[in-house]
């Protein structure tokens, strides 16, 4: 495979070949090497040893120890299934409902609602999770205090976020923006003439929805189901903050505690053995996803074109529907921000306004750890986003423009990280650089390497963008006398810049919110904001944690607002 790739590249101009080859090598190094290393580790006897220390033998024992462990079947698997199924059902239902409301009904203020539903996505999930604890914690949660004083109830309760339901509801709500975006794009690009045609055949609206709309959207819905299931399964913040106190053992937290055991050294071979079925499952889901999206593409009716939709009249449900979306916004953005601010200013449980103080903001914002966390967050986010955008451009070009046989493998490798839970990616990368003595372990550089595995979405964006750039635009430049690098600089780069900037920003926001990889690879030197806030919260610095949480919400909202205001219009133009 690589020999033929090399031969293909050698025939191309040398600089072009060099650039593309280095991008391919980066993908292999970032994605494949850690995973293969992890898979190999699963077969090493690592009791009290690292996997490739001298004297360590090959074994199948890890699998026996992990998969014959009754805890797995009595607790981890049932808990994970209940949690995943519950959250997926909730997020899909709300996502499809909201998408239909905004794209296909006459609900008022649709543009505002669109932003309202999407904007919570930029708030770090760990902050939202902590905010929900402040709101619905059984003993001192604000809502519980309110209910108790209003109805004269005894504490704790009556509501308890630390429960199966609490975990499912918070996780389900956290993914609504994503499923909403997915489905609203599908609704928007579906030709309403299909529904009109059905109506002209005298089908009633409900019949049309069931027999035409749903089947046409089915492949997209399936693709969404796969993505949401993967993201729920790999979700770590909410299982950690809410699920663990609720005595739930979900796979992601189970793996985390296996890596960070209360006593002794972690047994990496056993952890790797847990990861094996995930990697296999991930590959299977990836194949399924590709098939679902390919079917969606074959249903040529869902095209990239935007149609003017016909909207259903909601009648007296117009305002209740509007209010339902507002409740969502309240729960996922307004209340978390408010409770964070309040908890920063006033110690939890003390309702007196007299003790309110700005001191926690000063404390947390001037601490050297916070400054280090800021620096690490920006550095790891910015650098990894730059690397990924470079990879995405090159891989997209190889996949779209060349006939190299290796291009499918490359495409698969860039997409694979999407289906592998972050807990496992983090484990693999941590383990690899723990063993490989190149000095990145425990530094911010290992975060760069870990964040840079998130190349799936950016590659897809760049690919879609490159497909829009007609091949003849490049060829016209060659015929005009320009070599590959001139063509790249003067034609391709300017045309791809909007998509590249968009990808970079998305990656940066994802890194800013990042918690899982930061936790798995945490050492005092590479603390990032998400991890810092968690450590403050965990050690009882509630006011400082809240102050930092509030600051993070403000930062992402301001950045999101500016990007929307100044960048999105310019993207639309190009």
Partner 1 sequence: MLIVRQLRKSYGAEAGAVAAVRGASFVIEQGQSFTLLGPSGCGKTTTLRCIAGLERPEGGEIVLDGRIVDSAERGIHVPPYERPLGMVFQSYAIWPHMSVYENVAYPLRVGRQRMGASEVNGRVTETLKLVKMEALAERPAPQLSGGQQQRVALARALVSRPRLLLLDEPLSNLDAKLREEMRLELSALVRTLGIATLYVTHDQSEALAMSHRVAVMDRGAIVQEGSPQEIYSQPRHAFVAGFVGAANFFDGTVVSPPADGMIVVQVGAARLTCSVPVPAQHHAPGSRVTVVVRPEEVAIGLQAPGDDANVFRATVEEVTYLGAALDCRTRTAWGPLSVRTQPARKLVPGAQVLVRIPPEACRILEGQAID
List Cβ neighbours of 16 (8 Å cut-off, separation of 6 or more).
Answer: 9, 484, 485, 488
SS3 194: helix
| Distance of closest approach, residue 410 Cβ to partner 1, in angstroms | 17
Determine, following the binding rule CB under 8 A, whether residue 399 of this chain makes contact with partner 1.
no
Closest approach of Cβ 503 to partner 1, in Å? 18
Q: What are phi and psi of 420, to 5 degrees?
A: -100, 125
Task: Pick between residue 18 and residue 356 the one whose CB is nearest to partner 1.
Answer: 18
User: Of the two residues 198 and 487, which places its CB atom closer to partner 1 in the complex?
Assistant: 487
User: Angle at Cα 296 formed by Cα 295 and Cα 299, nearest 5°?
Assistant: 85
Binding flag, residue 483, partner 1 (CB under 8 A): yes
Residue 548 to residue 530: CA distance in whole angstroms: 10
Nearest-angstrom CA–CA distance, 210 and 339:
42
Report which of 374, 384, 507, 388 is spatially closest to residue 448, judged by C-alpha positions: 384
What is the closest distance, in whole angstroms, from the C-beta atom of residue 495 to partner 1 in the complex? 6
Question: Which of 300, 472, 524, 565 is the binder for partner 1 (CB under 8 A)?
Answer: 472
CA distance 163 to 151: 22
Q: Answer yes or no whether residue 81 interacts with partner 1 by CB under 8 A.
A: no
Judging by beta carbons within 10 Å of its beta carbon (0-12, 13-18, 19+), is residue 12 exposed, middle or buried? middle
Q: Does 478 bind partner 1 (CB under 8 A)?
A: yes
* Rounded least distance, CB 497 to partner 1, Å: 9
DSSP string, 139-183: TT-HHHHHHHHHHTPPSS-S--SSSHHHHHHHHHHHTHHHHHHHH
Compute the least distance from the CB of residue 484 to partner 1, in Å.
Answer: 9
Residue 121, helix vs strand vs coil: helix
271 is a site residue for partner 1 (CB under 8 A): no
Give the integer Cα–Cα distance in Å for 16 and 147.
66
Work out which of 280, 473, 554, 562 binds partner 1, going by CB under 8 A.
473
Q: How far is the CB of 405 from partner 1 (least distance, A)?
A: 8
Shortest Å distance, C-beta 266 to partner 1: 47
Binding pattern for the stretch 192-231 against partner 1, x by CB under 8 A and - elsewhere: ----------------------------------------
Q: Which is nearer to partner 1, 12 or 203 (CB)?
A: 12
Among 231, 373, 387, 495, binds partner 1 (CB under 8 A): 495
Q: Hey, which residues between 143 and 202 contact partner 1 (CB under 8 A)?
A: none
Q: Does 470 bind partner 1 (CB under 8 A)?
A: yes
Distance from C-alpha of 325 to C-alpha of 318, rounded to nearest angstrom: 11
- Find the shortest distance in angstroms from Cβ 474 to partner 1: 8
Q: Can residue 574 be called a binding residue for partner 1 (CB under 8 A)?
A: yes
- Which residue in 491, 528, 531, 563 binds partner 1 (CB under 8 A)? 491
CB 480 within 8 A of CB 491: no
Which range binds partner 1 by CB under 8 A, 15-23, 340-348, 454-462, 469-477?
Answer: 469-477
Segment 318-347, which members bind partner 1 (CB under 8 A)? Answer: none
Give 255: exposed, middle or buried? Use CB within 10 Å, 0-12, 13-18, 19+: buried
CB of 32 to partner 1, least distance (A): 25
Sequence-distant (≥ 6) Cβ neighbours of residue 520 within 8 angstroms: 256, 259, 422, 423, 426, 427, 430
Q: Which positions from 9 through 28 interact with partner 1, judged by CB under 8 A?
A: 13
- Residue 479 within binding range of partner 1, rule CB under 8 A: yes
Write down the residue that tokens 């074959």 correspond to.
298
Instruction: Give the residues lining the site for partner 1 (CB under 8 A).
Output: 13, 470, 472-473, 475-483, 486, 490-491, 494-495, 574
């Amino acid at each position: 495979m690589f020999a033929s790739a090399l031969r293909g590249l050698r025939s191309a101009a040398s600089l072009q070949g060099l650039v593309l080859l280095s991008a391919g090598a980066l993908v292999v190094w970032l994605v494949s090497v850690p995973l293969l290393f992890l898979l190999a580790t699963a077969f090493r006897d690592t009791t009290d040893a690292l996997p490739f220390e001298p004297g360590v033998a090959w074994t199948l024992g890890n699998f026996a120890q992990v998969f014959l462990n009754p805890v797995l079947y009595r607790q981890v698997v049932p808990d994970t299934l209940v949690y995943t199924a519950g959250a997926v059902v909730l997020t899909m239902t709300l996502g499809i409902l909201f998408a239909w409301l905004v794209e296909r009904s006459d609900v008022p203020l649709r543009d505002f609602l669109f932003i309202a539903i999407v904007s919570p996505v930029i708030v770090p999930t760990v902050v939202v999770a902590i905010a929900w604890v402040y709101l619905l914690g059984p003993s001192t949660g604000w809502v519980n205090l309110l209910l108790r004083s209003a109805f004269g109830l005894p504490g704790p309760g009556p509501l308890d976020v630390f429960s199966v339901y609490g975990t499912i509801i918070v996780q389900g709500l956290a993914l609504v923006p994503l499923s909403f975006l997915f489905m609203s794009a599908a609704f928007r690009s579906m030709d309403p003439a299909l529904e009109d045609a059905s109506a002209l055949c005298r089908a009633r609206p409900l019949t049309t929805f069931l027999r035409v709309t749903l089947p046409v959207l089915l492949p997209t819905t399936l693709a969404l189901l796969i993505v949401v299931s993967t993201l729920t399964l790999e979700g770590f913040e909410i299982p950690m903050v809410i699920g663990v106190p609720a005595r739930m053992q979900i796979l992601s937290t189970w793996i985390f505690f296996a890596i960070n055991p209360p006593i002794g050294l972690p047994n990496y071979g056993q952890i790797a053995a847990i990861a094996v079925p995930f990697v296999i499952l991930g590959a299977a889901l990836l194949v399924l996803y590709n098939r679902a999206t390919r079917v969606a593409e074959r249903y040529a009716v869902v095209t990239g074109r935007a149609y003017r939709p016909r909207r259903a009249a909601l009648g007296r449900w117009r305002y209740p529907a509007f209010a339902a979306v507002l409740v969502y916004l309240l729960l996922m953005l307004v209340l978390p921000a408010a409770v964070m601010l309040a908890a920063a200013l006033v110690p939890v449980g003390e309702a007196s306004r007299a003790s309110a103080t700005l001191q926690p903001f000063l404390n947390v914002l001037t601490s050297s750890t916070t400054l280090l966390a800021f620096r690490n967050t920006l550095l790891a986010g910015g650098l990894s986003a730059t690397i990924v955008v470079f990879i995405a451009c090159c891989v997209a070009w190889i996949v779209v423009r060349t006939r190299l046989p290796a291009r499918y493998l490359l495409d698969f490798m860039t997409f694979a990280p999407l289906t592998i839970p972050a807990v496992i990616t983090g484990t693999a990368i941590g383990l690899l650089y723990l063993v490989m003595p190149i000095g990145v372990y425990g530094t911010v550089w290992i975060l760069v390497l870990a964040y840079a595995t998130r190349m799936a979405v950016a590659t897809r964006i760049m690919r879609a963008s490159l497909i829009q750039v007609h091949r003849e635009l490049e060829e016209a430049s060659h015929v005009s006398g320009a070599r590959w690098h001139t063509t790249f600089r003067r034609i391709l780069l300017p045309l791809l810049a909007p998509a590249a900037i968009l990808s970079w920003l998305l990656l940066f926001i994802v890194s800013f919110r990042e918690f899982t990889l930061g936790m798995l690879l945490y050492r005092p030197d590479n603390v990032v904001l998400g991890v810092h806030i968690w450590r403050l919260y965990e050690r009882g610095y509630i006011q400082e944690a809240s102050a930092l949480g509030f600051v993070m919400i403000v930062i992402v909202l301001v950045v999101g607002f500016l990007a929307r205001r100044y960048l999105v219009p310019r993207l639309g133009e190009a």
